[in-house]
Amino acid sequence: MTSASDRVFIFDTTLRDGEQSPGATMTHEEKLEIAELLDDMGVDIIEAGFPIASEGDFNAVSEIARRSKNAVICGLARANFKDIDRAYEAVKHAAQPRIHTFIGTSELHRAIPNLTMDEMAERIHDTVTHARNLTDNVQWSPMDATRTEWDYLCRVIEIAIKAGATTINVPDTVGYTAPMESADLIKRLIETVPGADDIIFATHCHNDLGMATANALAAVAGGARQIECTINGLGERAGNTALEEVVMALKTRHDIMPWTTGVDTTKIMNISRRVAAVSGFAVQFNKAIVGKNAFAHESGIHQDGMLKNRENFEIMRPEDVGLAGTSLPLGKHSGRAALRDKLEHLGFEVGDNQLKDVFVRFKDLADRKKEVFDDDIIALMRVGEASESDRLKLVTLRVVCGTGGPADATLVMMVDGEEKTAIEKGDGPVDAAFKAIRKLHPNTAHLELYQVNAVTEGTDAQATVSVRLEEDGNIATGQSADTDTVVASAKAYIHALNRLLTRRGKTGEDQKEISYKDHG
């Protein structure tokens, strides 16, 4: 039986810190979907956003709070009453609301609000007290804790505990610390700070030196019982501690790390793929746990060992993280029942109407590909498809290109219900197609990212294309998949433009209105 001291709480901040990755902004519906998946997989605390940042963030956090079934729903707030009140307004509808308030305590960060040590200590006391008067679940963070003077760090943590904080998070905001330091810091704080035995210490590690997961696990060894992390390690700069890595490390090496989480690990792959799709940040092939090659074996020696005994070269089973044991392809003769069964096996629940739509697209793909594999089906479900509300829709695209000169693109596109045609030349087929789109829909959007990934192997493989656009402070990511890379590129570009148009209509509710959003 697991004792309270053996339980590690998983605090997911994909929707807050993860969304701080440049270009990773998610739509309202995407945030709700990711929150539901996190709740369903057993994450203990979901940091749903930064409510004061924008009306869009507030609305998303508020709706996630209303819909949550099991998880604590947390809102981030800076150390002032206005932020804290706004955070509480957003999370108060949750069955288990939490306010997470923070301030930078290192010498470098104290200079930002230009506060003396005493002035900052007083603000910490007042703001944590204010938060505790609103809810009995208050988390406090000394931002840049690992570079804060030891005596002062102990002082402000003691103040926060006395003011009513029930969780103290110790962030390695710039990814500077190393595992031995991480463990020692938590251990010393628990031994030194009065009241430390009555609260939970958390760890929040960034990956600037590639040690986020190691530092988080070391902190647990030092006494921390909450790990702050994100799906796929998404986050500011080099990212955060990856949820899938710490959870599977604790599960796989339980012999030397005798702590448990409440996460259903079989749901890891599904949410990893979804976060990659909505953020536009593809998972690197050799990424631990969720990378495409994480369970692939090409070396002859490895393959021979695997055939004799999987344990020779696999320390985890693919099924443990939600990967199918087999990947039997479908084809153009497969029916609806086979497709539904495959979708359910891959973690997708579809209604009859959605199945009809997916089946049409599946048949179209099967006519162009001899075999349709699991990854093809996932791409079919995950990429952005045209909706009735889209103002821009691709009708047809033809390109002529070669080594002898510029490429020609003939594009037919629906613009606000009117069919229009453009012919453009470009430095390659994708450039020509994008120029044709801009001719029919003039815009000032800057192309920040153009990324192509093959879904499977072979010359008939689908290409998944991600396009990230920035216009007037708004950032939108579009995705599409097609066996024709140029067509997939055009669809992804149009998808991103449609998302920008939607955000314009919301008068900036999805914009990041507060620049000083970095935390932890």
Domain 300-382 sits in CATH at 1.10.238
Residue-wise DSSP of 183-247: HHHHHHHHHHSTTGGGSEEEEEEB-TTS-HHHHHHHHHHHT--EEEEBGGG--STT-B-BHHHHH
Under 8 Å between Cβ of 23 and 475: yes
Domain 392-504 sits in CATH at 3.30.160.270
pLDDT for 382 beyond 90: no
pLDDT of residue 134: 98
What mean pLDDT is predicted for residues 310-334? 69
pLDDT of residue 264: 96
Residue 240, marked binder: yes
User: 3-class SS at 336?
Assistant: helix
What mean pLDDT is predicted for residues 365-380? 78
Residue 125, marked binder: no
Q: Which two tokens stand for residue 41?
A: 């997989």
pLDDT for 517 beyond 80: no
Q: By mean pLDDT, which of 191-200, 243-252, 398-407 is the weakest?
A: 398-407
pLDDT of residue 106: 95
The CA-atom distances, in angstroms, between 487 and each of 53, 186, 399 are 37, 53, 10
Residue 298's region, left for phi above 0, alpha for psi from -120 to 50, else beta, is alpha
What mean pLDDT is predicted for residues 9-25? 84
pLDDT of residue 243: 98
Tens of pLDDT, residue by residue over 99-119, are 999 999 999 999 999 999 999
> Does 7-279 match 300-382 in CATH topology?
no
Q: Place 23 in a pLDDT band, splitting at 50, 70 and 90.
A: low
pLDDT for 244 beyond 50: yes
In the predicted model, what is the mean pLDDT of the chain?
87
Contacts of 105 (CB under 8 A, 6+ apart): 120, 142, 143, 144, 145, 148, 152, 153, 156
Residue 100, marked binder: no
Phi, psi of 460 (to 5 degrees): -100, 15
pLDDT for 2 beyond 50: no
The CA-atom distances, in angstroms, between 391 and each of 140, 395, 441, 446, 495 are 44, 13, 10, 19, 10
Which residue is it, tokens 């998302």? 499
Euclidean distance between CA atoms 162 and 85, whole angstroms:
20
Say how many CA atoms lie within 13 Å of 375 toward its Cβ.
12
Domain 7-279 sits in CATH at 3.20.20.70
| pLDDT: which is higher, 264 or 18 | 264
| pLDDT: which is higher, 467 or 334 | 467
Q: By mean pLDDT, which of 13-22, 186-195, 216-225, 243-252 is the weakest?
A: 13-22
pLDDT for 310 beyond 80: no
Q: Place 314 in a pLDDT band, splitting at 50, 70 and 90.
A: low
Contacts of 199 (CB under 8 A, 6+ apart): 161, 165, 166, 167, 168
pLDDT for 509 beyond 70: no
Burial (CB count within 10 angstroms: exposed 0-12, middle 13-18, buried 19+), residue 502: middle
Q: Which two tokens stand for residue 324?
A: 């199918």
Under 8 Å between Cβ of 403 and 388: no
Q: Which two tokens stand for residue 279?
A: 């953020």
Euclidean distance between CA atoms 349 and 147, whole angstroms:
47
For the whole model, what pTM was predicted? 0.80
The CA-atom distances, in angstroms, between 49 and each of 102, 103, 234, 236, 245 are 14, 17, 14, 14, 23
pLDDT for 306 beyond 90: no
Q: Place 505 in a pLDDT band, splitting at 50, 70 and 90.
A: low
pLDDT for 327 beyond 60: no
Residue 204, marked binder: yes
What mean pLDDT is predicted for residues 271-286? 85
What mean pLDDT is predicted for residues 389-395? 90
Q: Place 407 in a pLDDT band, splitting at 50, 70 and 90.
A: very high
Q: Place 519 in a pLDDT band, splitting at 50, 70 and 90.
A: low
Q: By mean pLDDT, which of 327-331, 341-345, 491-495 is the weakest?
A: 327-331
pLDDT of residue 514: 42
Euclidean distance between CA atoms 65 and 94, whole angstroms:
4
Tens of pLDDT, residue by residue over 145-188, are 999 999 999 999 999 999 999 999 999 999 999 999 999 999 99
Residues in a beta bridge with 98:
74
Q: Which two tokens stand for residue 201?
A: 């210490």
pLDDT for 272 beyond 60: yes
Say how many CA atoms lie within 13 Å of 286 toward its Cβ.
0
Angle at Cα 230 formed by Cα 224 and Cα 235, nearest 5°? 115
pLDDT of residue 388: 66
pLDDT of residue 303: 35
Percent of the chain with pLDDT over 90: 61
Euclidean distance between CA atoms 256 and 234, whole angstroms:
27
Give domain limits for the chain: 7-279, 300-382, 392-504
Percent of the chain with pLDDT over 70: 89
Residue-wise DSSP of 288-314: TTTSTTTT---SHHHHHHHHH-GGGT-
pLDDT for 229 beyond 70: yes
pLDDT of residue 353: 82
pLDDT of residue 233: 95
pLDDT of residue 158: 98
C-alpha 456, offset from chain centre = 23
pLDDT for 452 beyond 60: yes
Tens of pLDDT, residue by residue over 47-102, are 999 999 989 899 999 999 999 999 999 999 999 999 999 999 999 999 999 999 99
What mean pLDDT is predicted for residues 238-252? 96
pLDDT for 204 beyond 60: yes
The one-letter amino acid code at 312 reads N
Burial (CB count within 10 angstroms: exposed 0-12, middle 13-18, buried 19+), residue 136: exposed
